[in-house]
Structure 1
Amino acid sequence: METFEHNLASLFSQLGLNNSKEYIDNFLEEHCLEQHEQLTEARFWEPSQQKFLRESYEQDADWCEVIDQLDAMLRK
């Protein structure tokens, strides 16, 4: 059975973004969420990215833990 590691780099790849450490660090520096803003509704996502994030939550997918991690990292 093949296992897949769901980490921040793989989430960025899944979202169609560069998954290098430098890109992720820059992304986190340049983006943030307002106090009551939901990650899935953030203005910086493309519609397909929003759909993936929303569906992952709705389906309680394996991605939820790393998505929650990203959410926390975007709250400054």
Structure 2
Amino acid sequence: MDTTPQDLNHLFEQLGIESSEENIDRFIAESTIPNNVLLYEADFWTESQKSFLKEAIDEDAQWSELIDHLDALIRRQ
């Protein structure tokens, strides 16, 4: 069982993105996704990041709720 804390900092670490609060805030502020595009289809992800996000959502994995939260934060811009 994975005991990794479930927060944005750790999600960013899982995605291989620098996970400081400042970087997370900047990433969210600078990212845009058209309404008809799913989060994992956005063009700012690498292929491995897309795969991680899609698999987590498809399998309703432990990260899926946090990924949905990230999606909402980005779309709120």
Q: TM-score range by the shorter chain?
A: over 0.9
Gaps of at least 5 residues in structure 2 are none
Show structure 1 runs of 4+ deviating over 2 A: 1-4
Matching of residue 59 in structure 1 with residue 59 in structure 2: yes
Identity of aligned residues (%): 45
What residue is the counterpart of 1:43 in the other structure?
A: 43
Question: What CA distance in whole angstroms lies between the structure 2 residues aligned with 1:2 and 1:38?
Answer: 26
**RMSD across aligned positions (CA):** 1.4
Alignment: residue pair count = 76
Gaps of at least 5 residues in structure 1 are none
TM-score after normalising by structure 2:
0.91
